[in-house]
Structure formats: structure tokens, C-alpha cells
Amino acid sequence: MANQYTFSVQQVQVAPNNGNGTFGSAYELQSTKTVTTAQKLVSDRSQGNTKITALAAQTISYDLSLDTAGFDFSALSIFMNDPATSSNTGQVWTVPNQLMPYFGLVAQAFPEAGDVLWFWPRCKITGDFSYKLEFGKIIVPQFKCEAIEDENLGFIVRVYERPGGGSITFPPVVS
């Protein structure tokens, strides 16, 4: 699939990271509009005698931000580790003062043929989680998280090109 031009995020799934290389039940984020990612590096250089003599750089994490239309208690329970409670009058979600859990995230996009999957196994909400409520507009929660290396799996992100495409499994499996 060389020189494919990936077009349009198609599906995003999240699942609790169990901390041992396995994941809880995956949940699809409905109507994900954007997934933005940025590779973060730590770097340094050696300088002397009026020139740079060496460079060093290493990937340490990825920043992620998502815009996903709607207000989804199931996704929030994965991100915040606090499920909504149900009653005969509906659901209630309360945000306590607690630590955020780790979760995995898979994003699928379609190139000209097949699909491309990005898999970050160890993410955590580390930035703002915002909602914009406007008259006549769909609520679009935006959140920021950071992905670091999952020591059980040995990577920060894995990208899969699948010539045949298909449905997402969590974690992704490519044969």
C-alpha cells in the first residue's frame, strides 16, 4: 500500500488499559470529527569548536486531542474511571476529585484501498476536557490526552496498513 493518501477518520475505539498488556471492553466513540496527534521528543546537542558535533533525539510520548460529537457517558466512564449511575429518571454522571486511568485508543482511516489503524495502548487524559454548548449546535466535547510507552507491549504507537481493511478489533490484530 505504498503512497496511499489516507482520507477521513472512520472509527475511533477506546478501552480501559488493564495494566498487564490486556484491555477491557472496547467502546466506539460515535461521530468522532478529528483526531490530532503530535510526536513529542526530548533532544540535545553537543557543541564545540564552533560547530555542532552530535545530535540526539528520542520519542518520549504522543499528544492526542479528539473532537467527538455528542455527550457519551460510556466513553466518559473509560476516560475518568467513574461510570454514570442510573435511576428511574435517567443517568447521572458525577466528576469526583480522582486520578485519571489509562486507556487504549484505536483510530481507523481509509486510504485509497484497505485501511490504516493507529493504536496507542497507554493513554491518559492529561489536558483540558471541554464542552461547547451553543444554541442550535451539536455539543462537541474536546479532550486532550497523552500516550506513553506501554511497557507490557513495548511501544507508544503502532500503525497498521491493512490492504483488505475491515472491522477493528481491540487491540488491533494484523495477520
More confident residue, 114 or 35: 35
| pLDDT tens by residue, 15-62 | 999 999 999 999 998 888 889 999 999 999 999 889 999 999 999 999
Question: Above 60 in pLDDT, residue 3?
Answer: no
**Quick one: pLDDT at residue 164?**
79
**Does the structure show a pLDDT above 70 at 2?**
no
Half-sphere exposure of 74 (CA within 13 A, CB side): 11
Mean pLDDT of 49-76: 88
pLDDT band, residue 98 (cuts 50/70/90): confident
111 pLDDT higher than 80 = no
For the chain, domains (ranges, CATH) are 7-162 (2.30.110)
- pLDDT (average), residues 64-86: 82
Return the higher-pLDDT residue of 6 and 104.
Answer: 104
Q: Would you state the cell numbers that stand for residue 150, as one nine-digit string?
A: 506501554
Backbone angles phi, psi at 29, to 5 degrees: -80, 110
Are the C-beta atoms of 93 and 75 separated by less than 8 Å?
no
Query: Omega before 111 cis (within 30°)?
Result: no
Q: Is the separation of the CB atoms in 12 and 30 below 8 Å?
A: no
Residue 63: pLDDT band by 50, 70, 90 thresholds? very high
Q: What single DSSP character describes residue 135?
A: T
Per-residue model confidence as pLDDT tens digits over 120-171: 999 999 988 888 888 998 888 888 999 999 999 999 999 988 887 888 888 9
31: alpha, beta or left? (left if phi > 0; alpha if psi -120 to 50): left
What local confidence, expressed as pLDDT, does residue 1 receive? 46
Q: The C-alpha cell of 98 is what?
A: 480522582
